[in-house]
């Protein structure tokens, strides 16, 4: 049995005050390989804090976080950066594509810092774009792509370095219903292929896509189990 | 886990892409460096060009001129004149000599006047009389207004002839040779054979009445001790050698009676050039560069703020702080280097254009051309230091917030 992709053991984040703000109260969470977890909650609940910790953008002030079995607390800053670049693929609400570069070049960017040989990069970028259904728009600039296509380029960029975890922050927040559905379908497909996905959203429809749903409210993380149609909640 | 890497080639292509994202802005940003480096190259180039022109003028005349002085009396108080009667012939036999001749100013007895008529006071203004062998006249490279120079025959037979400069002719009231004018020095009449309009050497001939050496000796006697000199016009490059040989050729018995004055070494001349004006222009170039650096710093800082999201994204994709700063440093450095290259080209073109307009030979030292783009690069890198530092401090968390 391989190690879980994400393992939170009493992870918490308190911003030093005054007054100190408990953005995330101590919580337990395990995301196994191949899981599709939705993290929901109203704005200001601590979702972003969860994303930052899970995405290695911020370090927890308490507890232990194991990513792929690696204890983050023991790593130095530069190792965390490298781990972030190689094991985590980010998908953002506002895509964060570079406007002056083609879809392919945007995907290539994800391989610049990870020590992937130059000769391999172009092939992998094309493969990733084909995987998200954009094989015909490889050289299009983001400005000539629809919102859904842009988000799919962003997903291709997140996938191309072959991460252990796809971390999506409101991936459909800027999309209309049709495009949102396409992107969600793509995420489901990726998950069916074995990709571990964590989606952070406030949209119940998006949350419903996940196999598991975790709710955050006032910094408290709660897992909902949907079992036999009955919803039970358990504080983590 | 291996730390994130950024291959130099990737760094370069990322920097280039960043620069080309906004070509118009990049061009305007580089303008300061273009001006600074351009001024730098133009100033140094024009300085080199003009100073080499001054040298060329020195070279053309001075470098082919050797003067011999009679110092026989200083060496031996019983010695006679240092220059033998056949001095011209002895020197002209040396390789590389074009013309050579002995001359001295004739010291007239007090009250002796030079005039153009046998009676009268001659206008009152004194006119110099110079005794010179024909070689002197030729070595001076004269332009004749009228008539001709006297020749070897006139010297050998000590003819009473004279060549006068245009200035002297004007003082004496001689305007044409049609009337076969004569010049009276004291009571001695001399037929004027030619009027010299201009000379390249020994401009004092223009204010003189020049008579053959032998004639002067016959009438006024030998020159005073130390008064006689010898003018030698040489081929280019032969002067120093001739200065070395001439005393021995003239006086194999007493070479020390003759002192040779070779032309100045052009290398010592060149080092003397480089005045305050050049330093002022270089200061201006430095100010241009400083302004250019501020421009680059400002634009790069604005770019950093504009591209906060991009920086956050790069950090999320595994870029380390140093990768982010390296990228912005590379961008500003490339901008500076590009400005430096364009400035170098423009500066060189300026030098060439000025040189063509003035009919000069353009001279730009290779070191200047090599150093200029480097100066641009250094300017760009220095200007990028602060923005790069700011960029590396951007937290991905904040940058990625929508």
Mutation target among B4, B6, B325 for the A interface, most CBs of A within 10 A: B4
What's the pLDDT score for residue B145? 87
Residue B137, pLDDT > 50, answer yes
**B75 — contact with chain A (CB < 8 Å)?**
no
Residue B2's pLDDT band, with cuts at 50, 70 and 90, is confident
Residue ranges covered by each domain of chain B: 8-58+271-400, 64-97+234-262, 107-222
* Chain B hits for A96, Cβ within 8 Å: 309-310, 312-313, 400
Q: In the Cβ-directed half-sphere of B277, how many Cα atoms lie within 13 Å?
A: 6
- In this prediction, residues B100-123 reach a mean pLDDT of 78
Question: What structural domains does chain A harbor?
Answer: 6-235 (3.40.50.300)
Measured CA distances, B374 to A131, B22, B47, B337, B368 (Å): 46, 24, 21, 7, 10
**B401 — contact with chain A (CB < 8 Å)?**
yes
What's the pLDDT score for residue A236? 46
* Chain B hits for A55, Cβ within 8 Å: 316
Residue B265's pLDDT band, with cuts at 50, 70 and 90, is low
Residue B121, pLDDT > 90, answer no
How many of the other CB atoms lie within 10 Å of CB of A101? Answer: 16
Q: In the Cβ-directed half-sphere of B113, how many Cα atoms lie within 13 Å?
A: 13
Judge: A85–B4 Cβ closer than 8 Å, yes or no: yes
Below-70 pLDDT ranges, chain A: 1, 225-236
What's the pLDDT score for residue B333? 92
* Chain A hits for B316, Cβ within 8 Å: 55, 57, 84-85, 90
What's the pLDDT score for residue B387? 94
Mutation target among A112, A115, A151 for the B interface, most CBs of B within 10 A: A112
What's the pLDDT score for residue B181? 87
For B1, nearest residue in chain A (alpha carbons): A79
Selecting from A52, A98, A109 the residue whose C-beta is nearest the C-beta of B397 gives A52
Question: pLDDT tens across B207-259, in order?
Answer: 889 999 888 888 888 888 788 889 898 888 788 888 888 889 888 888 888 88
Residue B270, pLDDT > 60, answer no
| Rounded Cα–Cα distance for residues A59 and A52 (Å) | 8
What's the pLDDT score for residue B144? 87
Q: Which residues contact B68 (CB under 8 A, 6 or more apart)?
A: B83, B229, B230, B232, B246, B247, B250, B258, B259, B260, B261
Selecting from B2, B5, B400 the residue whose C-beta is nearest the C-beta of A96 gives B400
Selecting from A70, A81, A169 the residue whose C-beta is nearest the C-beta of B318 gives A81
Judge: B309–A96 Cβ closer than 8 Å, yes or no: yes
B14 or B397, higher pLDDT: B14
Question: pLDDT tens across B41-75, in order?
Answer: 888 888 888 777 766 556 667 778 888 888 888 88
């Amino acid at each position: 049995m391989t190690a879980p992709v994400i393992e939170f053991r009493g992870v918490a984040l308190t911003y030093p005050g005054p007054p100190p703000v408990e953005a995330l109260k101590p919580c337990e969470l395990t995301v196994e390989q191949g899981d599709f977890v939705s993290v929901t909650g109203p704005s200001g609940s601590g979702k972003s804090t969860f994303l930052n910790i899970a995405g290695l953008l911020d370090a927890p002030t308490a507890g232990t976080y194991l990513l792929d079995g690696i204890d983050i607390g023991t790593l130095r800053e530069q190792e965390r950066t490298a781990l972030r670049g190689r094991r985590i693929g980010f998908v953002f609400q506002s895509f964060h594509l570079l406007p002056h570069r083609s879809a392919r070049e945007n995907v290539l960017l994800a391989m610049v810092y990870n020590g992937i040989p130059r000769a391999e990069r172009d092939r992998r970028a094309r493969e990733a774009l084909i995987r998200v259904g954009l094989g015909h728009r490889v050289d299009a600039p983001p400005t000539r792509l629809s919102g859904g296509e842009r988000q799919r380029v962003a997903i291709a960029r997140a996938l191309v370095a072959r991460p252990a975890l796809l971390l999506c922050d409101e991936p459909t927040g800027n999309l209309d219903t049709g495009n949102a559905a396409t992107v969600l379908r793509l995420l489901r497909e990726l998950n069916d292929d074995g990709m571990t996905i964590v989606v952070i959203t406030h949209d119940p429809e998006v949350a419903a896509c996940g196999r598991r749903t975790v709710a955050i409210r006032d910094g408290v993380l709660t897992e909902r189990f949907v079992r036999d149609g009955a919803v039970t909640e358990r504080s983590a | 886990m291996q730390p994130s890497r950024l291959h130099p080639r990737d760094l370069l292509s990322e920097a280039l892409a960043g620069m080309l994202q906004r070509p118009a802005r990049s061009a305007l940003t580089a303008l300061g460096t273009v001006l600074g480096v351009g001024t730098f190259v133009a100033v140094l180039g024009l300085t080199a060009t003009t100073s080499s022109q001054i040298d060329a003028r020195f070279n053309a005349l001075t470098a082919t001129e050797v003067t011999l002085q009679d110092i026989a009396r200083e060496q031996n108080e019983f010695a006679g004149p240092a220059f033998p009667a056949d001095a011209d012939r002895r020197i002209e036999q040396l390789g590389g000599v074009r013309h050579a001749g002995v001359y001295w100013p004739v010291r007239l007895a007090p009250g002796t006047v030079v005039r153009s008529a046998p009676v009268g006071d001659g206008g009152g203004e004194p006119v110099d009389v110079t005794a010179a062998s024909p070689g002197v006249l030729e070595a001076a490279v004269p332009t004749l207004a009228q008539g001709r120079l006297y020749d070897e025959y006139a010297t050998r037979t000590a003819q009473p002839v004279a060549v006068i400069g245009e200035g002297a002719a004007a003082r004496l009231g001689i305007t044409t040779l049609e009337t076969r004018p004569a010049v009276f020095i004291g009571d001695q009449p001399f037929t004027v054979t030619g009027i010299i309009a201009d000379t390249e050497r020994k401009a004092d001939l223009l204010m003189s009445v020049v008579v053959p050496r032998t004639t002067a000796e016959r009438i006024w006697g030998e020159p005073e001790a130390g008064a006689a000199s010898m003018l030698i016009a040489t081929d280019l490059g032969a002067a120093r050698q001739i200065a070395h040989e001439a005393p021995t050729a003239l006086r194999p018995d007493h070479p020390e009676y003759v002192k040779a004055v070779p032309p100045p070494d052009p290398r010592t001349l060149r080092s003397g050039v480089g005045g305050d004006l050049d330093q002022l222009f270089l200061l201006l170039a430095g100010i241009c560069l400083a302004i250019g650096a501020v421009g680059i710093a400002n634009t790069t800082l604005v770019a950093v703020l504009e591209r906060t999201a991009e920086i956050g994204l790069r950090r999320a994709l595994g870029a380390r702080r140093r990768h982010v700063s390296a990228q912005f440093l590379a961008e500003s450095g490339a901008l500076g280097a590009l400005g430096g290259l364009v400035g170098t080209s423009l500066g060189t073109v300026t030098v060439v254009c000025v040189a063509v307009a003035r009919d000069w030979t353009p001279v730009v030292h290779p070191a200047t051309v090599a150093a200029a783009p480097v100066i641009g690069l250094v300017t760009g890198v220095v200007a990028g230091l602060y923005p790069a530092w700011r960029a590396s401090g951007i937290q991905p968390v904040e940058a990625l917030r929508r």
